[in-house]
Chains A and B, each alone.
Chain A
Amino acid sequence: MMKKIWRDKKARVGVIILGVFAFLALLGPWLVVDPSDMVATPLQPPHVAHLFGTTGQGQDVFAQTVVGTRTTLVVGFIVGIVVTGFGALVGAAAGYFGGWIDDLLSLLINVFLVIPGLPLAVVIAAYLPAGPTTIALVLIFTGWAWNARVLRAQTLALRQKDFVLAAIISGERHITIICREILPNMSSLIVSCFIGATVYAIGAQVGLEFLGLGDVSVVTWGTNLYWASNDAALLTGSWWTFVPTGFCVAMVGFALVMINNAIDEISNPRLQSEHTWATVLGRAGLRFDRRATAVMRSHG
């Protein structure tokens, strides 16, 4: 799987970008100066000593950007994983079992869907003790329903497929059918849900912290922006205090979307063998026709 992702150009770009950020998240804090220390004159533009300049408090912007990566990414990915896992569980159960189970779970999903997510997140975050854990919990609480809804719809479609009926007739247990037939057949949808949820989680987390709803003493990309705004970065024209962080958020999102595109192709065996065929035919100087199915001869 990893090899296949690596072979795809778009995915490779995504993986490299994400790899750089993962490296920074892991080791960053040991590579740069303490981001909370006042190390130089405040609000200096980028120069050799401080690559990204300094903040209104005289802190190193480069160090803040690097150190902020860890908390931001960890919260983003944890929220993405939990939201997708919970959504897949609820959605697959609702779609597969139908009847009153579906009625009940759909009601729950719909209630959470009509609640406006971000405003509720703001309200809850304001009441709970500030910090990354709170932000993660709030985003999970308000974000799981969309994935559940999407995956339920896909489960409903798969439930009617003959191969699922065949599994039921052959005596397969419900749990096995969900895990072996339903979930693998929507793996690319699940991955794209996960990536969508992660991108959303990173954005929403940065947004909440920018509004001051996080713990402003923790260095994250969100609090970096909060402090930049607090120090009136726009008024003073000190663009270097917020552009690096904003750029990082955008790059992480870009990398995730690139990987998403590639996984769609990789997780579909048919698209994949078409790809192989196109390569083989291309080498022989032939044109690939999508309407034809490559078939293996069974005898001789």
Chain B
Amino acid sequence: MSRALLEVKDLSVHFPVRRGWFEREQRWLRAVDGVSFTIQEGRTLGLVGESGCGKSTTARAIVGLNTPTAGEIHFAGKRMADLDGPALREARRGMQMVFQDPYSSLDPRMMLGDIIAEPLRAHRVYRSRTEERKRVAVLMDQVGLATSMSGRYPHELSGGQRQRAGIARALALKPRLVIADEPVSALDMSIRAQIINLLGELQDELSIAYLFIAHDLAVVRHTCDEVVVMYLGRIVERAPRERLFTAAEHPYTQALLDAVLPPRPMRDRRSLPLLGDVPSPVDPPSGCAFHPRCAHAVEECRVETPGLEARSHDHEVACHLTPDEWRGSDRRGADA
């Protein structure tokens, strides 16, 4: 059943950093640095990492808001860089996006019905207003909004309702891929579950593929078939969901897993929490970018950047050590 719908190959997005008028040397912010993954038709890939690790930049490069510095994006068998003009527009129809902040992703001056109909109008899908209105009503029904709300303005809706409207807009063109950029991070806990369930139901119903971006592994656990963990613009681990949650092989993934609030906090804590902040992507650390924060780093980690290596047919890790080598050896803990 599975065919690659989206294929990202060695994607890099670098931004020039201007330091001053007289600075000779041009510096680059490596927001995304050699990222590859594929999403199968109708499946969900989770993209996880802390703020500033390049998740959103990856998403924006896929939909064309950022221009890749290097690498290729194939969507539905077509290389995006080969397309332009109407062909590119047509290809982009198949991928839509749900945004993180439901408060800024809806135009405050437009009524809900118009917001949801916008993609339909942009592509002139329907000739008559009646057909368009029917389609908008179907979409609103699909995402659980009362059709009577189509005349409402965004400020009259709650956060969850707005996010439903954002999802309806993304579905309007019947996309094959929906990129959800932290779709529930801005919502209350109780609403999160509703939206996640809604996304799951829509996937079953319409067989959409999702690229699900999150900074929280707890959210990913309920939605994704496969998970990619990013750190400072690079992939550190890629594994099927079950494997990632039971047998993570990268210390960073393990730290993220431990950061998920455990049901029994006093008994279940397994390692020390992550300390410090993500380093600047303009000036990344030598060797493995994670080594300054890693509790298990050895000399090699400071010198050499580990590549992404296959540990089994569907599990890739970028770490010099195997879990057996680093588990239980908390060097930072020993120092302290």
Q: How far is the CA of A273 from the CA of B154 in the complex (A)?
A: 12
Say whether, besides A269-B153, A270-B108, A294-B156, A162 and B146 are in contact (CB < 8 Å): no
For window 157-176 of A, CB contacts with B under 8 Å fall at 161-163, 165-173, 176
Least CB separation from B120: chain A residue: A170
A296–B157 touching, CB < 8 Å: yes
A298 and B109 in contact, given A167-B118, A172-B122, A273-B155 (Cβ under 8 angstroms): no
Which of B94-102, B207-215, B279-287, B308-316 is the contact stretch? B94-102
> Is B89's CB within 8 Å of the partner chain A?
yes
Q: Which residues of B contact A270 (CB under 8 A)?
A: 108, 155
For the complex, give the distance between the alpha carbons of A129 and B157 in Å. 59
- Known pairs A295-B156, A298-B145, A298-B146; A170 contacts B169 (CB<8 A): yes
| A282 on interface, CB distance cutoff 8 Å | no
**Segment 121-155 of B: residues with Cβ below 8 Å from A:** 122-123, 144-146, 149, 152-153, 155
Q: How far is the CA of A132 from the CA of B159 in the complex (A)?
A: 55
B: interface residue count bin: 35 or more
Cβ-based interface call for A181 (8 A): yes
Give A265-300 interface residues, CB cut-off 8 Å to B: 269-270, 273, 293-296, 298-299
- Neighbouring A residues of B158 by C-beta, 8 Å: 293, 295
A142 proximal to B (CB < 8 A): no
Is B105 in contact with chain A by the CB < 8 A criterion? yes
Give residues of chain A (8-39) contacting chain B, Cβ–Cβ below 8 Å: none
Q: Does B161 contact A (CB under 8 A)?
A: yes
Residues of B within 8 A of A168 (CB): 65
Chain A contact residues, majority secondary structure: helix
Question: With A162-B99, A169-B65, A171-B122 as given contacts, are A185 and B109 in contact (CB-CB < 8 Å)?
Answer: yes
| Bound CA–CA A175/B155 (angstroms) | 26
- What chain A residues lie within 8 Å of B95 (beta carbons)? 169
Interface centre among A171, A184, A296 (most CB of B within 10 A): A171
Known A173-B122, A296-B157: A161·B104 in contact at CB below 8 Å: yes
- Distance, CA A180 to CA B111, complexed state (A): 12
A171 close to B169 (CB less than 8 A) = no
Complex: chain B residue closest to A164, CB-CB? B107
**B107 with A273: CB separation less than 8 A:** no
User: With an 8 A cutoff between CB atoms, is B63 at the interface?
Assistant: yes
| CB-based contact B105/A171 at 8 Å | no
Q: Is B248 an interface residue (CB 8 A)?
A: no
Q: Report the nearest A residue to B123, measured CB to CB.
A: A171
Bound CA–CA A179/B115 (angstroms): 15
A168-B65, A295-B158 given. 7 additional CB < 8 A pairs? A162-B105, A165-B105, A166-B169, A171-B123, A185-B107, A270-B155, A273-B153
**Sampled A-B contacts (8; CB under 8 Å):** A162-B99, A163-B107, A165-B65, A171-B123, A185-B109, A295-B158, A296-B157, A298-B149
List B residues at the A interface (Cβ < 8 Å): 63-65, 89, 92-93, 95-97, 99-101, 104-110, 118-119, 122-123, 144-146, 149, 152-153, 155-158, 161, 166, 169, 172-173
